Amino acid sequence: MSLLYQLPDDGAWARFDVAYTLISSDVQQSGQQTLTMASVGHVVEGSEACRWIEFNIQATENGTERIWIRKLLIPVRYLKPSENPTLHVVRGWAKQEDGAMERAVPVHGRWPAFLAGPLHDEKRLGTQLVDSPLGRLRCDGVTGWIEFAEGDVHTNVTFETRRHAMAPFGVVATRMVFDVKGGGPVYTIDSTATLVDIGTHAQSALPDYS
Protein backbone atom coordinates (compact mmCIF):
# COMPACT_ATOMS: atom_id res chain seq x y z
CA MET A 1 0.00 0.00 0.00
CA SER A 2 1.21 3.50 -0.54
CA LEU A 3 -0.25 6.14 1.77
CA LEU A 4 -2.40 4.05 4.11
CA TYR A 5 -0.89 1.37 6.35
CA GLN A 6 -3.18 2.03 9.30
CA LEU A 7 -6.51 3.76 9.89
CA PRO A 8 -6.35 6.56 12.49
CA ASP A 9 -9.21 8.12 14.46
CA ASP A 10 -11.66 10.04 12.32
CA GLY A 11 -10.53 13.63 11.81
CA ALA A 12 -6.84 12.77 11.52
CA TRP A 13 -4.92 14.33 8.65
CA ALA A 14 -1.43 14.15 7.20
CA ARG A 15 0.23 16.60 4.84
CA PHE A 16 3.04 15.62 2.47
CA ASP A 17 5.40 17.68 0.36
CA VAL A 18 5.69 16.01 -3.02
CA ALA A 19 8.60 16.50 -5.42
CA TYR A 20 8.27 14.96 -8.88
CA THR A 21 10.01 14.70 -12.23
CA LEU A 22 8.13 13.82 -15.43
CA ILE A 23 10.27 12.22 -18.12
CA SER A 24 9.20 11.40 -21.67
CA SER A 25 10.94 11.12 -25.02
CA ASP A 26 10.80 14.87 -25.64
CA VAL A 27 10.52 16.56 -22.24
CA GLN A 28 11.77 16.47 -18.68
CA GLN A 29 9.85 18.59 -16.17
CA SER A 30 10.14 18.87 -12.40
CA GLY A 31 7.70 20.34 -9.92
CA GLN A 32 6.36 20.48 -6.38
CA GLN A 33 2.94 19.70 -4.92
CA THR A 34 1.31 19.53 -1.51
CA LEU A 35 -0.83 16.49 -0.77
CA THR A 36 -3.17 16.34 2.23
CA MET A 37 -4.85 13.09 3.19
CA ALA A 38 -7.61 13.07 5.80
CA SER A 39 -10.37 11.02 7.37
CA VAL A 40 -13.32 13.41 7.12
CA GLY A 41 -16.32 11.45 8.35
CA HIS A 42 -17.70 8.08 9.35
CA VAL A 43 -21.08 6.63 8.45
CA VAL A 44 -22.85 3.28 8.38
CA GLU A 45 -23.80 2.36 4.83
CA GLY A 46 -26.23 -0.53 4.91
CA SER A 47 -24.60 -2.64 7.61
CA GLU A 48 -21.05 -1.49 6.80
CA ALA A 49 -19.04 0.93 8.93
CA CYS A 50 -17.40 3.28 6.42
CA ARG A 51 -15.00 6.20 6.35
CA TRP A 52 -14.76 9.18 4.05
CA ILE A 53 -11.11 9.46 2.95
CA GLU A 54 -10.24 12.72 1.21
CA PHE A 55 -7.20 13.75 -0.82
CA ASN A 56 -6.39 17.36 -1.59
CA ILE A 57 -3.53 18.20 -3.96
CA GLN A 58 -2.35 21.77 -4.47
CA ALA A 59 0.30 22.96 -6.90
CA THR A 60 1.49 26.00 -8.78
CA GLU A 61 2.10 25.36 -12.48
CA ASN A 62 3.35 28.13 -14.73
CA GLY A 63 2.20 30.71 -12.19
CA THR A 64 -1.30 29.23 -11.91
CA GLU A 65 -2.65 27.75 -8.69
CA ARG A 66 -4.13 24.30 -9.27
CA ILE A 67 -6.11 22.06 -6.95
CA TRP A 68 -7.51 18.54 -7.17
CA ILE A 69 -9.86 17.06 -4.55
CA ARG A 70 -11.00 13.46 -4.29
CA LYS A 71 -13.39 12.22 -1.58
CA LEU A 72 -14.11 8.49 -1.30
CA LEU A 73 -16.43 6.46 0.93
CA ILE A 74 -14.85 3.10 1.74
CA PRO A 75 -15.85 0.35 4.19
CA VAL A 76 -13.53 0.26 7.19
CA ARG A 77 -12.80 -3.44 6.74
CA TYR A 78 -11.02 -2.66 3.47
CA LEU A 79 -8.90 0.18 4.85
CA LYS A 80 -5.92 -1.97 5.78
CA PRO A 81 -2.73 -3.16 4.05
CA SER A 82 -4.03 -6.62 3.20
CA GLU A 83 -6.88 -5.16 1.11
CA ASN A 84 -7.21 -2.98 -1.99
CA PRO A 85 -9.50 -0.06 -0.97
CA THR A 86 -9.76 1.21 -4.55
CA LEU A 87 -11.78 -1.89 -5.47
CA HIS A 88 -14.33 -1.25 -2.72
CA VAL A 89 -15.29 2.41 -3.09
CA VAL A 90 -18.98 2.79 -2.26
CA ARG A 91 -19.15 6.22 -3.91
CA GLY A 92 -17.04 9.32 -4.23
CA TRP A 93 -16.64 12.82 -5.56
CA ALA A 94 -13.94 14.60 -7.53
CA LYS A 95 -13.30 18.26 -8.26
CA GLN A 96 -10.55 20.04 -10.14
CA GLU A 97 -10.06 23.79 -9.62
CA ASP A 98 -13.28 25.60 -10.59
CA GLY A 99 -14.64 22.68 -12.60
CA ALA A 100 -17.95 21.00 -11.99
CA MET A 101 -18.31 18.36 -9.28
CA GLU A 102 -18.08 14.86 -10.72
CA ARG A 103 -18.63 11.35 -9.50
CA ALA A 104 -15.23 9.88 -8.72
CA VAL A 105 -14.15 7.01 -10.93
CA PRO A 106 -12.25 4.52 -8.73
CA VAL A 107 -9.49 3.92 -11.30
CA HIS A 108 -8.49 7.24 -12.80
CA GLY A 109 -5.11 8.82 -13.51
CA ARG A 110 -2.56 8.23 -10.75
CA TRP A 111 -5.12 8.14 -7.90
CA PRO A 112 -5.14 4.31 -7.47
CA ALA A 113 -1.54 4.45 -6.23
CA PHE A 114 -2.57 6.41 -3.13
CA LEU A 115 -4.73 3.53 -1.88
CA ALA A 116 -2.89 0.68 -3.54
CA GLY A 117 -3.67 -2.89 -2.59
CA PRO A 118 -1.07 -5.45 -1.48
CA LEU A 119 2.19 -4.98 -3.36
CA HIS A 120 3.56 -7.56 -5.77
CA ASP A 121 7.03 -8.90 -4.93
CA GLU A 122 6.84 -7.11 -1.60
CA LYS A 123 10.14 -6.99 0.27
CA ARG A 124 11.07 -5.53 3.63
CA LEU A 125 13.82 -2.94 3.84
CA GLY A 126 16.13 -2.24 6.74
CA THR A 127 15.22 0.48 9.22
CA GLN A 128 16.22 4.06 8.50
CA LEU A 129 16.13 7.32 10.45
CA VAL A 130 13.71 9.78 8.82
CA ASP A 131 13.07 13.39 9.87
CA SER A 132 9.39 14.15 10.41
CA PRO A 133 7.05 16.54 12.27
CA LEU A 134 7.05 13.87 14.99
CA GLY A 135 10.82 14.09 15.33
CA ARG A 136 13.48 11.81 13.93
CA LEU A 137 11.86 8.40 13.61
CA ARG A 138 13.39 4.99 13.06
CA CYS A 139 11.21 3.73 10.20
CA ASP A 140 10.92 0.31 8.69
CA GLY A 141 10.58 0.06 4.94
CA VAL A 142 8.79 -1.88 2.25
CA THR A 143 9.16 -2.05 -1.52
CA GLY A 144 7.08 -3.60 -4.29
CA TRP A 145 4.88 -2.74 -7.23
CA ILE A 146 1.31 -2.64 -8.55
CA GLU A 147 -0.24 -2.19 -11.97
CA PHE A 148 -3.62 -0.98 -13.15
CA ALA A 149 -5.34 -0.04 -16.40
CA GLU A 150 -7.72 2.72 -17.44
CA GLY A 151 -8.92 2.02 -20.96
CA ASP A 152 -5.84 1.68 -23.17
CA VAL A 153 -3.56 3.31 -20.59
CA HIS A 154 -1.53 0.87 -18.50
CA THR A 155 0.36 2.05 -15.42
CA ASN A 156 3.00 0.25 -13.39
CA VAL A 157 3.96 1.82 -10.06
CA THR A 158 6.95 0.86 -7.93
CA PHE A 159 7.10 1.92 -4.30
CA GLU A 160 9.70 2.44 -1.62
CA THR A 161 7.86 3.41 1.55
CA ARG A 162 9.03 4.30 5.06
CA ARG A 163 6.55 3.61 7.85
CA HIS A 164 6.04 4.35 11.53
CA ALA A 165 3.04 3.81 13.79
CA MET A 166 3.21 7.41 15.09
CA ALA A 167 2.30 8.78 11.63
CA PRO A 168 -1.50 9.12 11.26
CA PHE A 169 -1.81 6.76 8.30
CA GLY A 170 1.43 4.92 9.05
CA VAL A 171 3.49 6.56 6.26
CA VAL A 172 6.39 8.94 6.86
CA ALA A 173 7.79 8.99 3.32
CA THR A 174 7.25 7.17 0.06
CA ARG A 175 8.79 7.16 -3.39
CA MET A 176 6.43 6.24 -6.23
CA VAL A 177 7.67 5.72 -9.79
CA PHE A 178 4.89 5.62 -12.39
CA ASP A 179 5.64 4.04 -15.78
CA VAL A 180 2.76 4.82 -18.14
CA LYS A 181 2.15 3.25 -21.56
CA GLY A 182 -0.69 3.33 -24.10
CA GLY A 183 -3.13 6.04 -25.09
CA GLY A 184 -0.33 8.38 -26.15
CA PRO A 185 3.37 8.97 -25.43
CA VAL A 186 5.19 6.70 -22.99
CA TYR A 187 6.31 8.57 -19.88
CA THR A 188 7.62 8.15 -16.34
CA ILE A 189 6.83 10.18 -13.22
CA ASP A 190 9.29 9.81 -10.36
CA SER A 191 7.78 11.29 -7.19
CA THR A 192 8.70 11.44 -3.51
CA ALA A 193 6.16 12.34 -0.80
CA THR A 194 7.50 13.38 2.62
CA LEU A 195 5.35 13.89 5.72
CA VAL A 196 5.61 17.53 6.85
CA ASP A 197 2.59 18.13 9.11
CA ILE A 198 -0.16 16.25 10.96
CA GLY A 199 -3.26 17.15 12.89
CA THR A 200 -6.77 16.31 14.04
CA HIS A 201 -10.29 17.71 13.51
CA ALA A 202 -10.05 17.59 9.71
CA GLN A 203 -12.91 19.20 7.79
CA SER A 204 -13.92 18.12 4.31
CA ALA A 205 -13.31 20.53 1.44
CA LEU A 206 -16.56 19.11 -0.03
CA PRO A 207 -18.90 19.21 3.00
CA ASP A 208 -22.10 19.20 0.94
CA TYR A 209 -21.25 15.98 -0.90
CA SER A 210 -21.76 12.71 0.90
**C-alpha to C-alpha distance for 30 and 34, rounded to whole angstroms:** 14
SS3 content of the chain, % helix, strand, coil (to 5): 5, 60, 35
Q: What is the pLDDT of residues 164-210, one digit of tens each?
A: 999 999 999 999 999 999 878 899 999 999 999 999 999 999 999 99
| pLDDT value, residue 116 | 87
Percent over 70 (pLDDT), the chain:
100
| pLDDT value, residue 143 | 97
**C-alpha to C-alpha distance for 47 and 51, rounded to whole angstroms:** 13
Averaged pLDDT score across all residues of the chain: 94
| pLDDT value, residue 207 | 95
Residue 33 C-beta-side C-alpha neighbours within 13 Å: 18
Average pLDDT of the segment spanning 63-74: 92
Buried b (16+ CB within 10 A) or exposed e, 157-183: bbbbbbbbeebbbbbbbbbbbbbbeee
Global pTM reads 0.94
Domain positions in the chain: 13-196
The answer to whether the beta carbons of residues 144 and 124 sit under 8 Å apart is no
Q: What is the pLDDT of residues 89-101, one digit of tens each?
A: 999 999 988 788 9
| pLDDT value, residue 21 | 95
| pLDDT value, residue 128 | 96
| pLDDT value, residue 104 | 93
pLDDT band at 154 (very low <50, low <70, confident <90, very high): very high
Q: Which amino acid is at 181?
A: K
pLDDT at 1 over 90: no
The answer to whether the beta carbons of residues 127 and 139 sit under 8 Å apart is yes
Buried b (16+ CB within 10 A) or exposed e, 111-121: bbbbbbbebee
